[in-house]
């Protein structure tokens, strides 16, 4: 493959302005991430110390193989929810290596309300198990939770993708032969008791671990029976009487050692044979990404410059370079893995939509994973383009992408608006992993467009009603709409709601994709197949 010839001028004023802007965004992201990971009230840290417990991130660190990467997912989930009371949605999730095996780690965070599950905690856990199902990844649960946050019970329990989905997904994993291990460091109460019970293996810590459908207060209220924690659901009872738990451990350290020994007995899945080449770092400095991304979401930039700082050797075989120029398509390698890249260089026209659909078909034929780099305002609108069938051509691209058999990975590099989000494999289209950058914005349309649209609707309403045009009222509608949109468009709002799998520093994107692609190869490729293309 040829090396991309960068046209970047790092000494230019525009590059320097972009660089300063994006480094500031990344510093803000790092500060928020650090606070979500580590900033806790001292009383909660003291409580865990008195109980002889490690902090949840210490548990994860001791579980993982030394010196191996850990790709944490959704570290800023719930950052704009619950008044900030549930950092990281009270749950740590990520992909790591344990005893030489790729696994999903899901850990409760007892430093937040005793590990109680908020609605977004459940959404994050369900997503973790969806990833395990999609990629055939074993799961290790680090359990220490007070159960559901009862004040929000109506958002926790009854619907299809609420708490019951965790246990449904656990059951599906077992049916598929994908292994699960639970390490019970604290209480597993009510529905949470089913996490170790539905795991293939579990280890419980004596003195602090407990598993019960109803804890002592509930048992007392429901039956009048007065019973202590250990007798009701402690380690000795469950490992010698009930058989709910398999291995007792005297300490958390011992529980982790036993857990690592268990994982070491698991077979290693055979990955499907994705094309690979020797690994090469990019020829251009990934930190130059900060100078490429504009300081204004509306300003265009060349996605080839992004590709050149993510892929191996900055080498890229571009497909149909002179056709459908607003969509860049081509083949590259990331950490040696062959991938097909689709990247936006503007709005999607008829030709770029058809080019994208054809390229996706080629990648499916050739068993090549797809990487979508989104910076999209949508599909082109207007009379001329509707007459030429833009809706039909956009539907072809959506059909090809939605029915792809190969793993898909999406990076939100800048804007993601309208149906362009769909064609470029947005959240609804089952990318194995979807990441965002701190500058990312997502919505049906941009804030200015939404404000202009609603202001025009208000103006037309006044005219229809025979009212005099009240410019102050129109300005009020415009301002309120734009303000609300700007907050909801932000990367922090998106990741708070788990519309992505986490914000990344742009320079970490190559590494995150490498871990994600490797994990995806555990799941076998289905046979190819498509729906109906409208010609």
The CATH number of residue 247's host domain is: 3.90.226.10
Q: What is the pLDDT of residue 475?
A: 81
Are 425 and 306 within one domain?
A: yes
Q: Pick the last residue of a domain from 244, 265, 286.
A: 265
pLDDT digit string (tens) for 386-419? Answer: 999 999 999 999 999 999 999 999 999 999 998 9
Q: What is the mean pLDDT of residues 218-246?
A: 94
pLDDT digit string (tens) for 31-71? Answer: 999 999 999 999 999 999 999 999 999 999 999 999 999 99
Pick left, alpha or beta for residue 8 (phi over 0 → left; psi -120 to 50 → alpha; otherwise beta). beta
How far apart, in whole angstroms, are the C-alpha atoms of residue 196 and residue 246? 10
Q: Does residue 154 fall inside a structural domain?
A: yes
Are 421 and 529 within one domain?
A: yes
Count of structural domains within the chain: 3
Range from 85-89, 202-206, 295-299, 471-475 carrying the lowest mean pLDDT? 471-475
Are 307 and 331 within one domain?
A: yes
Are 106 and 237 within one domain?
A: yes
Are 89 and 72 within one domain?
A: yes
Are 389 and 315 within one domain?
A: yes
The two three-digit tokens of residue 451, written as one number: 């404000």
Band of residue 448 on the pLDDT scale cut at 50, 70, 90 = confident
pLDDT at 279 over 80: yes
Q: What is the pLDDT of residue 512?
A: 98
pLDDT at 149 over 90: no
How far apart, in whole angstroms, are the C-alpha atoms of residue 86 and residue 59? 19
How far apart, in whole angstroms, are the C-alpha atoms of residue 123 and residue 225? 35
> What's the DSSP call for residue 501?
S
Q: Where are the alpha helices (DSSP H) in 41-117?
A: 42-50, 56-63
Query: What is the length of the chain?
Result: 535
Are 146 and 225 within one domain?
A: yes
The two three-digit tokens of residue 513, written as one number: 């994709």
How far apart, in whole angstroms, are the C-alpha atoms of residue 55 and residue 109? 8
pLDDT at 361 over 90: yes
Closest CA to 373 of 344, 337, 395: 344
Residue 155: burial class (beta carbons within 10 Å; 0-12, 13-18, 19+): middle
pLDDT at 444 over 90: no
pLDDT at 90 over 90: yes
Pick left, alpha or beta for residue 84 (phi over 0 → left; psi -120 to 50 → alpha; otherwise beta). left
Distances (CA, A) of 136 to 96, 259, 504: 14, 19, 24
Domain of residue 134, residue span: 51-265
Closest CA to 180 of 165, 162, 167: 167
Residue 511: burial class (beta carbons within 10 Å; 0-12, 13-18, 19+): middle
Average per-residue pLDDT for the chain = 95
pLDDT digit string (tens) for 189-201? Answer: 988 999 999 999 9
Q: Pick the last residue of a domain from 265, 290, 315.
A: 265
Q: Does residue 45 fall inside a structural domain?
A: no
Band of residue 126 on the pLDDT scale cut at 50, 70, 90 = very high
H helix and E strand count, the chain: 20, 15
How far apart, in whole angstroms, are the C-alpha atoms of residue 120 and residue 78? 6
Are 159 and 178 within one domain?
A: yes
Are 387 and 527 within one domain?
A: yes
Residues 6+ apart with CB under 8 A from 167: 191, 194, 195, 198
Q: Does residue 496 fall inside a structural domain?
A: no
Percent of the chain with pLDDT over 90: 85
Q: Does residue 1 fall inside a structural domain?
A: no
pLDDT at 7 over 90: yes
Closest CA to 5 of 316, 346, 331, 342: 316
> What is the torsion angle, in degrees rounded to the nearest 10, for the CA atoms of residue 13, residue 18, residue 23 and residue 29?
160
How far apart, in whole angstroms, are the C-alpha atoms of residue 185 and residue 169? 22
With the C-alpha atoms ordered 301, 307, 313, 318, is the resulting torsion angle positive or negative? negative
pLDDT digit string (tens) for 455-505? Answer: 788 778 878 888 887 788 878 877 877 777 778 889 999 999 999 999 999
Are 215 and 353 within one domain?
A: no
Q: What is the mean pLDDT of residues 128-152?
A: 94
Q: What is the pLDDT of residue 530?
A: 86
Are 397 and 517 within one domain?
A: yes
Q: Say how many Å lie between the first and final Cα of the chain, rounded.
A: 34
Are 173 and 67 within one domain?
A: yes
Q: What is the pLDDT of residue 167?
A: 97
Q: Pick the last residue of a domain from 231, 247, 265.
A: 265
């Amino acid at each position: 493959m040829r090396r991309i010839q960068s046209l970047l001028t790092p000494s230019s004023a525009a590059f320097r302005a972009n660089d300063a802007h994006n480094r500031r965004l990344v510093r803000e992201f790092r500060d928020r991430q650090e606070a979500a990971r580590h900033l806790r009230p001292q009383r909660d840290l003291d409580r865990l110390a008195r109980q002889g417990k490690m902090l949840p991130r210490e548990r994860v660190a001791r579980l993982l193989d030394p010196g191996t990467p850990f790709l944490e997912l959704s570290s800023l989930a719930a950052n704009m929810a619950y008044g900030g009371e549930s950092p990281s949605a009270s749950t740590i999730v990520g992909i790591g290596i344990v005893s030489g095996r790729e696994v999903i780690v899901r850990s409760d965070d007892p430093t937040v309300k005793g590990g109680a599950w908020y609605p977004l905690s459940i959404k994050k856990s369900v997503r973790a198990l969806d990833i395990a199902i999609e990629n055939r990844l074993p799961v290790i649960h680090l359990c220490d939770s007070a159960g559901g946050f009862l004040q929000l019970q109506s958002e926790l329990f009854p619907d299809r993708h609420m708490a019951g989905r965790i246990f449904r997904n656990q059951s599906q994993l077992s049916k598929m032969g994908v292994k699960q291990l639970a390490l019970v460091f604290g209480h597993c109460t009510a529905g949470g008791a089913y996490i170790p019970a539905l795991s293939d293996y579990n280890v419980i810590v004596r003195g602090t671990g407990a598993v019960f459908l109803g804890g002592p207060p509930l048992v007392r209220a429901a039956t009048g029976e007065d019973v202590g924690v250990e007798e009701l659901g402690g380690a000795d009872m469950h490992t010698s009487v009930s058989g709910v738990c398999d291995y007792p451990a005297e300490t958390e350290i011992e529980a982790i050692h036993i857990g690592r020994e268990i994982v070491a007995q698991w077979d290693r899945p055979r990955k499907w044979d994705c094309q690979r080449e020797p690994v090469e770092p990019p020829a251009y400095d990934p930190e130059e990404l900060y100078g490429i991304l504009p300081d204004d979401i509306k300003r265009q930039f060349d996605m080839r410059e992004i590709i050149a700082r993510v892929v191996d050797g900055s080498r890229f075989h571009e497909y149909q370079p002179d056709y459908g120029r607003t969509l860049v398509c081509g083949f590259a390698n990331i950490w040696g893995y062959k991938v097909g890249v689709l990247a936006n260089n503007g709005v999607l026209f008829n030709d770029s939509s058809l080019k994208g659909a054809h390229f996706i078909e080629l990648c499916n034929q050739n068993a090549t994973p797809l990487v979508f780099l989104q910076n999209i305002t949508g599909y082109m609108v207007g009379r001329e383009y509707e007459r030429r069938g833009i809706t039909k051509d956009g539907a072809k691209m959506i059909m090809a992408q939605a029915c792809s058999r190969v793993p898909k990975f999406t990076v939100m590099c800048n804007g993601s608006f309208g149906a362009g989000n769909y064609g470029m494999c947005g959240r609804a289209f089952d990318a194995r992993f979807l990441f965002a950058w701190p500058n990312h914005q997502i919505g049906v349309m941009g804030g200015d467009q939404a404000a202009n649209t609603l202001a025009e609707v208000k103006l037309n309403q006044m005219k229809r009603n025979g009212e005099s045009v009240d410019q102050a009222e129109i300005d009020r509608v415009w301002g309120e709409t734009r303000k609300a949109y700007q907050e909801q468009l932000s990367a922090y709002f998106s990741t708070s709601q788990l519309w992505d799998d986490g914000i990344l520093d742009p320079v970490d994107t190559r590494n995150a994709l490498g871990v994600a692609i490797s994990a995806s190869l555990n799941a076998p490729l289905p046979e190819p197949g498509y729906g109906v293309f409208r010609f």
